Structure 1
Amino acid sequence: MNAVSLKIERSRAFVTVFLKEVKENLRDRRTIVSAFLTGPLLGPIMLVMLLNITLNREFNKAEQPLPVPVIGANYAPNLIAALKAGGIVPTAAIGNPEVAVRKQDADVVMRISPDFATSWRRGEPVQVEVIYDSSQRDANTAVERVSQLVESYARQQGAMRLVARGLAPSTAWPVTAARRDQATAQARAALMFSILPYFFVLTVFMGGMYLAIDLTAGERERQSLEPLFANPVSRWKILAGKLAAICVFSIASLLISLVAFGVVGRFIPTEKLGMELDLGLHFSGHVLLLMLPLIVLLAALQSMVAAFAKSYREAQTYVSLLMFVPVLPSILLSTMPIKAQGWMYAVPLLGQHLGIMQLLRGDGIDMQQLGLCLAGSLAAAVLGVLATVHLYQSERLAISS
């Protein structure tokens, strides 16, 4: 480190520090794994795998024959026949259906009352119990499928009763609600993939985290900051070189993540759900542009927080706590859905979240929104860098104990 520090010249301080930090950390396995593998690659692959497994399982439940225990099936043979036509396979009755669904021995159980036939002949309303446990998320598809078939059978029989009495079936439904869904295929996909904005921010954070820790707390612990600061070079040039190295790793991590999502996103069966997911070049380019000032801001914050630590391990704790900051906009918008206002785009993290969601919905982002997002995040980045520069002026920064 002493030999390297002596080579630093005033005119080339920034470039020298930048190249040194990049080369050294390219040889660090922990930094490479975190910046280029764990976040940007593992995340998209796991997300797509989980979605594919979940969706294919739900599709199978919706299309394949569904075994359902039926209690009292002999009391309503016509209803059972209608259920069979809809893909329901009635199975033997079970003794305690309530316990069975709670223990997940069955997703759903039907119970038909013994007085079903008597009430039916009298024209009285009859009830079929659909027993399930709503806390078992895996049972929702089966419950909806059985409920819809029973309701469809009820509407059909009700219409036949009205016709037998010389009345039009529409007599029972004088008013109907005609739904006009204005959501596009891309907008519906955006609802499912609303985690992507947070994921991109987290990828940027993880891409530069270990580098930021090593270039501040790590060098402080190794006592290599003091000889570096002893050079006749402005501290801000040294910091600029370190921040540039952190930003390069963060940008590379984000680019890998965008490419990974663009590739694996094609394997998500969104068309079966009536959705459309476009993660191509247009989307990736705009996300990269939106994230650029945020990358500088996060690099400055990570360096500043890590600088307060006297050891690498201590810095890991501090910076890990900082990781909770990017999740705030996602939590805010998921718990309190609000209409986006113009000023919100100027708020760092929130503006990026809103912009990426608009890109996912296919609405695009106009120049005013883009300008506010970039200007707000850039202003915050400048303040973060200035605060870190001020911290770098302190002589205590080079002292490890």
Structure 2
Amino acid sequence: MNMKTTTPIMRTRAFVTVFMKEVRENLRDRRTITSAFLTGPLLGPIIMVMLLNITLNRQLDKAEKPLPVPVSGAEYAPNLINALKAEGIVPKPAIANPELAVRKQDADVVLRISPDYATAWRKGEAVQVELIYDSSQRDANASVDRLSSVVETYARQQGAMRLVSRGLSPSTAWPVVAAKRDQATAQARAALVFSILPYFFVLTVFMGGMYLAIDLTAGERERQSLEPLFANPVPRWKILAGKLGAICTFSAASLLISLVAFGVVGRFVPTEKLGMELNLGLGFSGQVLLLMLPLIVLLAALQSMVAAFAKSYREAQMYVSLLMFVPILPSILLSTMPIKAQGWMYAVPLLGQHLGIMQLLRGDGVTPEQLGLCLIGSLAASVLGVLVTARLYRSERLAISG
């Protein structure tokens, strides 16, 4: 009697039963909750915004505050020194070994003026000053650019005055002037700074479902709870669907938390001081979520597939951790090999999401064709991943521990 009444219910509600069971059990698991709702979605935004704030504020301070620069031979070019002071550059006493001081980061940049500066200047000859710096020290680049700009401006002004004193137009020395017309919008400039965002979103999805995928496959196999589950008169694909549904739910929730976190903390980045505009509001979040939906299913299937090959939780953790390098590939490819996006690229999983999110950051938007290619390509890969994982679930070896 009981078998006749419970078996049809299990067959019709197997997906919901497995789904709710896995969600409830893993909501009690501290490791899964920490990875899905704290570490994955919140750590990235907080660290990224903190680093950007520290870096940008230091650069802005160096651009606005008085810049101390050790000067060797200041007595040979008093007018140049006065021009530097007028632009907020504070000459400091000379250093015995400027090259060593720069390498040891005791000074960002050192200005050295040759002893024959005054003699050559009176003769109307070209004079030379040296800017000693270390280009490998990123923190010094702003100081070097600022000092170099002031020296070059002073040189152009003095060159123009020399021409005027000889009855010539200053334009004689510059017969061709390159007029720069930058077409980058404020949002496009911000996209360069936040170009790592697509990787953060993919990593958040990966982390959100990783421990759940390991526990629902290798974990249950190690605890020998998978075999009784498979013994029920329920198709294996329904059991898999319930487990994948739980993994996707945790991953999607993790992504939503990350999108909200970036939308909040993004307001604290001083992009307006750099002539940039960053829009991570509801419109951006909704489109990112749409682009990522098929990828959520794909990553859940891949994690479950890889975990199915492991015989223990620890072994599965190692395998899935190696799988984490896959989402990095598009970011590395586009950062090391800047390429023009082609239509077919949007159909490639991970790459299409990266390109789409970058367009959203730039304010260009994603066209219906690009969105369609991205969704269809990733959905096709997701279906393939689910089918391969379902084939593994039909194997009796999966239920056997050891």
Normalised-by-shorter TM-score class: over 0.9
The residue type paired with residue 24 of structure 2 is K
Give matches, 1:135-150, under 5 Å.
135-150=136-151
Distance 2:74 2:386 in 1: 73
Aligned twin of 2:60? 59
Aligned twin of 1:50? 51
Give matches, 1:47-196, under 5 Å.
47-196=48-197
SS of structure 1 residue aligned to 2:175? coil
Aligned twin of 1:258? 259
Aligned twin of 1:362? 363
SS of structure 2 residue aligned to 1:134? coil
Structure 1's unaligned 5+ residue stretches are none
Answer yes or no: is 1:353 the counterpart of 2:354.
Answer: yes
The residue type paired with residue 351 of structure 1 is G
Distance 2:349 2:75 in 1: 64
Distance 1:287 1:257 in 2: 11
Aligned twin of 2:325? 324
Distance 1:6 1:316 in 2: 35
Q: Residue 8 of structure 1 contacts residue 231 of structure 1 at CA under 8 Å; is this kept in 2?
A: no
SS of structure 1 residue aligned to 2:135? coil
Q: CA deviation at 1:46?
A: 1.0
SS of structure 1 residue aligned to 2:12? coil
Distance 2:331 2:249 in 1: 26
TM-score after normalising by structure 1? 0.98
Instruction: After superposition, give the CA deviation of every residue in 1:307-326 in whole Å (9 maximum; x if it has no partner).
Output: 10000000010000000001
Aligned twin of 2:3? none
Q: CA deviation at 1:260?
A: 0.4
Q: CA deviation at 1:185?
A: 0.6
Instruction: After superposition, give the CA deviation of every residue in 1:230-274 in whole Å (9 maximum; x if it has no partner).
Output: 000000000000000000000000000000001111111111111
Q: CA deviation at 1:8?
A: 7.4
Distance 1:232 1:68 in 2: 80
Distance 2:59 2:167 in 1: 42
Distance 1:353 1:214 in 2: 29
Q: CA deviation at 1:78?
A: 0.4
Distance 2:92 2:398 in 1: 73
Q: Residue 8 of structure 1 contacts residue 16 of structure 1 at CA under 8 Å; is this kept in 2?
A: no
Q: Residue 212 of structure 1 contacts residue 299 of structure 1 at CA under 8 Å; is this kept in 2?
A: yes
Distance 2:184 2:151 in 1: 29
Aligned twin of 1:289? 290
Q: Residue 188 of structure 1 contacts residue 361 of structure 1 at CA under 8 Å; is this kept in 2?
A: yes
Q: Residue 7 of structure 2 contacts residue 233 of structure 2 at CA under 8 Å; is this kept in 1?
A: no
Distance 1:290 1:373 in 2: 7
Aligned twin of 2:394? 393
TM-score after normalising by structure 2? 0.98
The residue type paired with residue 158 of structure 1 is G
Q: Residue 81 of structure 2 contacts residue 91 of structure 2 at CA under 8 Å; is this kept in 1?
A: yes
| Poorly superposed stretches of 4+, deviation over 4 Å | 5-8
Share of identical aligned residues, percent? 85
Aligned twin of 2:234? 233
Q: CA deviation at 1:209?
A: 0.2
Distance 2:43 2:71 in 1: 44
SS of structure 1 residue aligned to 2:10? coil
The residue type paired with residue 154 of structure 2 is Y
SS of structure 2 residue aligned to 1:10? helix
Distance 2:272 2:225 in 1: 56
The residue type paired with residue 248 of structure 2 is C
Distance 1:6 1:172 in 2: 93
SS of structure 2 residue aligned to 1:330? helix
Q: Residue 79 of structure 1 contacts residue 153 of structure 1 at CA under 8 Å; is this kept in 2?
A: yes
SS of structure 2 residue aligned to 1:47? helix
Instruction: After superposition, give the CA deviation of every residue in 1:331-386 in whole Å (9 maximum; x if it has no partner).
Output: 11111111111111111101101110110010001111111100010000000000
Distance 1:98 1:383 in 2: 60
Aligned twin of 1:337? 338
Aligned twin of 1:373? 374
Distance 2:115 2:48 in 1: 48
The residue type paired with residue 384 of structure 1 is G
Q: CA deviation at 1:6?
A: 9.3
Q: CA deviation at 1:58?
A: 0.6
Distance 1:185 1:176 in 2: 26
Distance 1:290 1:322 in 2: 21
SS of structure 2 residue aligned to 1:332? helix
Distance 1:380 1:199 in 2: 21
SS of structure 1 residue aligned to 2:105? coil
The residue type paired with residue 263 of structure 1 is V
SS of structure 2 residue aligned to 1:325? coil
Q: CA deviation at 1:9?
A: 1.1
Distance change >3 Å, CA 40–CA 6, structure 1 → 2: farther
